[in-house]
Amino acid sequence: MKESDRYCKVVEWSEEDGCYVGSAPGLLYGGCHGDDEQQVFAELCQIVEESIELYRQDGKALPPPRSPIVSQEPTITRVNLLERSYDIQIGSGNLAGLAPFLRERSQATHAVIITDDTVDDLYADKLGDQLTDDEWEVHVMVVDPGEESKSGDNAQELWETMLEEGTDRQSIVLAIGGGVVGDLAGFVAATFARGLQFFQVPTTLLAQVDSSVGGKVGINLPGAKNMVGAFWQPRGVLVDVEVLATLPDREYRAGLAEVVKYGVILDAEFFTFLEQNVAAINAHDSAILTRVIQRCCRLKADVVEQDEHELTGLRAVLNYGHTFAHAFETAGEYGKLLHGEAVAIGMECAARLARHMNRIDDEFLARQSALLVALHLPTDVPNFDRDELVRIMHRDKKVDQGRLRFVLPTRLGHVELVKDVRVDDVQAAMG
């Protein structure tokens, strides 16, 4: 990430000036203006870069790269599930308050931190020290990064280590990492000693907007993704937007696929917001990202509150593009595509399938494709055997008595679970 990406850039409509005005609070005393919002943002980014260079040429220290969001209190998105209700705290710089966040929600004094090698060096080790300073007993358990770690072997190794370290029902499991770590740690928490309190600190965009919320946890089988698992709600989720500054660009893009998904399935206005803020999203603008994460979490929470255990079919809408995506991931042995990349391609296939079935028009397909491409996401199906992909799809959890079912759109902001989809149509959608 460039230095300039760490500064908040604000583009707002000014009634007084009759145009868009761009500013970078804390860094610039001036700004720019114009009639085109995206052009103003692009100009503002250039001005910020030039200002940073001037600071360096003059030998002056740069102001702290912190946006107005940082000085505000983190926001809370509440997931209302009776006795299983919990908070999603969303802020910037709020990792520093992890210890009190946990204290307010648990009487435990022993924390099992599950993370991966990458996140351990960046965050988990330091957060473990923070908890130790707060008089927690802490054990950190580290797995390899990547989807391959969501395995029965890794789960067993974690169970055995937890047993050796004296973990009991008064302990908590704290997942610090992306979706893989969260799914694996949540599954271990759900199953060890018949269930331990579980907290999430998601460090990828995909985990922040999607997988850390809702209580789906699990591991993969060699032939089917997420086939072994449980519904196990966290006691709390702490989201710090600042951690995205260390996220590799490919991982960041993968998370954006789930962001687009929420606009397609639940909120047409949010989809339009994404279209209008492509430049800011691509520039990792913290103010825009905070709004994006807040909206995605609220949308998912609304669905989970109504269909926690996926009994009515409502929660199935969150799997838009995922029947295709899971087949791509499985065919690639969980190593060729990141989950979000597979979801982007899967959404493209699902939209083509819906268009083939006359459920949507060409404009829908064009807008979804254009947004995915603008966010630098893949849309081409990998070179996998199409018959094998269909065989994998028949092992999908949404299959009903051997019949394929797909979540398909009817318009922006609305999708439905469709039964009895013809295999020929599915293969045609994959090209």
User: Is 397 one of the catalytic residues?
Assistant: no
Contact 421, 406 (CB under 8 A): yes
CB atoms within 10 A of CB 222: 10
Residue 54, C-beta contacts closer than 8 angstroms, at least 6 positions apart = none
Q: Are 275 and 367 in contact (CB under 8 A)?
A: yes
Whether 322 is catalytic is yes
Instruction: For tokens 């959890």, name the residue.
Output: 397
Reply yes or no on whether 194 is catalytic.
yes
Nearest Cα to 325, choosing from 400, 393, 253? Answer: 393
319 carries an active-site annotation: yes
Q: Which of 94, 226, 277, 319 is catalytic?
A: 319
Spatial distance between the Cα atoms of 63 and 66, rounded to a whole number of angstroms:
8
| 310 among known catalytic residues | yes
- 94 contact partners, CB below 8 Å, separation of at least 6: 74, 101, 238, 239, 240
Q: Write phi, then psi, for 143 (nearest 5 degrees).
A: -115, 170
- The C-alpha angle 77, 90, 296, rounded to 5 degrees, equals 60
Active-site residue (options: 322, 352, 398, 405): 322
Euclidean distance between CA atoms 351 and 429, whole angstroms = 8
User: Any catalytic annotation for residue 376?
Assistant: no
419 is catalytic: no
341 belongs to the catalytic site: no
The strand ranges marked E within 149-247 are 171-177, 197-202, 216-221, 224-231, 236-240
Please tell me the distance from the alpha carbon of residue 199 to that of residue 196, in angstroms, as a whole number. Answer: 10
In angstroms, what CA-CA distances link 259 with 8, 153, 266, 377, 417?
20, 32, 11, 12, 20
**Catalytically annotated residue among 300, 352, 398, 405:** 300
Does the annotation mark 315 as catalytic? yes
Sign of the CA dihedral with 170 first, then 161, 239, and 309 last = negative
Question: Catalytic residue among 298, 326, 352, 405, which?
Answer: 326
Residues 6+ apart with CB under 8 A from 319: 398, 407
Can 137 be counted among the known catalytic residues?
no
Catalytic residue among 37, 242, 251, 258: 258
User: Of the listed 6, 298, 315, 398, which one is catalytic?
Assistant: 315
Which of 37, 147, 310, 341 is catalytic? The answer is: 310
CA distance 406 to 416: 8
**Token pair for residue 165?**
């370290």
Catalytic pick among 6, 253, 284, 339 = 339
User: Which residues are marked as active site?
Assistant: 194, 216, 258, 300, 310, 315, 319, 322, 326, 339
